[in-house]
Structure 1
Amino acid sequence: MLPTLVGHRLYLRHINTADADALFSLYADANTMRFAADPVFTHMDMMQQMLSSVASLYASGESYEWALVLSDSEHIVGTCGLHSFNTERTRCEVGCLLASPFWGQGLMQDALSLLLSHAKQLGITHLLADIEPQNHRARRFFTKLGFHCDANGLFSLELN
């Protein structure tokens, strides 16, 4: 199981099947999913399939996904994770999703701060973020985190 990463306002914990309803509300929200790689979820069976995939990818070491949980309410407001590792496991992609009612509150910055610190502990030295060109909010956010956009539009960050 993934370690729980604890911050002041939130913590990141392993996603499990008991999270289905809370996560479905995230993935069923068209505004939240506007720039996500996944489609808007319309049926709970889509969530069950995603949870099965998350468990399988974790078991194989291909992807690590955390639920983003508010400390004061235990409410799941998003997800974040590491995936698409290179063979040496020193480079991977970071992905994140935050429920739209919580945008602009600094929560994802807090979450990714915890995640980047953990990535360093795992020996990851280079992170990538594939952000849609139209997702100006996310592009600004990742730039503030220190990521740089290359000529192909891929954001990258060297962890020191």
Structure 2
Amino acid sequence: MKMTFPVLTTDRLVLRKMAAVDSRDMLTYLSDERVMKHYGMSPFESEQDALDEIGWYDKIFETEAGIRWALQTKEGQVIGSCGFHNRDHRHHRAELGFELSAVHWGQGLMREALAAVIAYGFEAMSLNRIQALVEPANAQCVRLLEKAGFRREGLLAQYEFTLGKYDDLFMYALVKSEYANRRPL
């Protein structure tokens, strides 16, 4: 049975399925070097790059390997995305990923989106563990995850090879029992 893509809402955002029509908005923020600095990819250069990314979002949803929501303002602009990938059904875990247009940093929008996505992961997807891999230099992301109740579990030395170099990554995780006892975002 094909699952319908869930729409989530927060005070200021609608989290919905990313569509091809969103490729221009996506290109705007994923071509920004500030946004891509810790993303492990080069800034996007074309609308085709954005369409390929949207295709990947579709694929992970169709194969039940994850789900990625477009973050849309109430005015209709897509300003980022957030969701899960590398879902492991047997072990009830998934990896969290997200990005936000730099012009919207510092406004609490990603905190809003994460609260909805994390709740969906634990409640609707029956996840027991949500994990996130973060470059140590990405202080904004580290702060956001820690505010959300994630705990740093360790450093994965030279864990990924991106852009011609090996990257160390912090492993952060939030498990369902800790989520139930944490203060809300």
After TM superposition, the score normalised by the length of structure 1 is 0.94
Matches within 5 A, 1:91-110: 91-110=93-112
Q: Could you tell me which residue of structure 2 aligns to residue 125 of structure 1?
A: 128
**What is the CA–CA distance in structure 2 between the aligned matches of 1:57 and 1:107, rounded to whole Å?**
24
- Identity across aligned pairs (percent)? 24
**What is the CA–CA distance in structure 2 between the aligned matches of 1:88 and 1:146, rounded to whole Å?**
24
Q: Could you tell me which residue of structure 1 aligns to residue 173 of structure 2?
A: 156
Q: Which runs of 4+ in 1 moved over 4 A?
A: none
Q: Could you tell me which residue of structure 1 aligns to residue 67 of structure 2?
A: 64
How far off is 1:68 after superposition? 0.5
Structure with higher Rg: it is 2
- Deviation string for 1:65-91 (max 9, x for gaps)? 1000112x1111110011111142610
How far off is 1:117 after superposition? 1.0
Structure having the larger proportion of residues in strand: 2
Q: Could you tell me which residue of structure 2 aligns to residue 28 of structure 1?
A: 31
Unmatched runs of 5 consecutive residues or more in structure 1: none
Say if 1:89 and 1:123, in contact at 8 Å, map to a contact too. no
Say if 1:23 and 1:47, in contact at 8 Å, map to a contact too. yes
**What is the CA–CA distance in structure 2 between the aligned matches of 1:147 and 1:69, rounded to whole Å?**
25
1:82 alignment partner, one of 64, 81, 84:
84
Q: Which moved more, 1:37-46 or 1:103-112?
A: 37-46
Q: Which has the higher contact order (CA 8 A, sep 6+)?
A: 1
**What is the CA–CA distance in structure 2 between the aligned matches of 1:131 and 1:79, rounded to whole Å?**
16
Instruction: Tell me the number of residue pairs that the alignment of Structure 1 and Structure 2 aligns.
Output: 159
Unmatched runs of 5 consecutive residues or more in structure 2: 156-169, 181-185
Report the secondary structure of 1:31's partner residue. helix
After TM superposition, the score normalised by the length of structure 2 is 0.82
Superposed CA RMSD: 1.3
- Deviation string for 1:39-71 (max 9, x for gaps)? 200122212222222212221111211000112
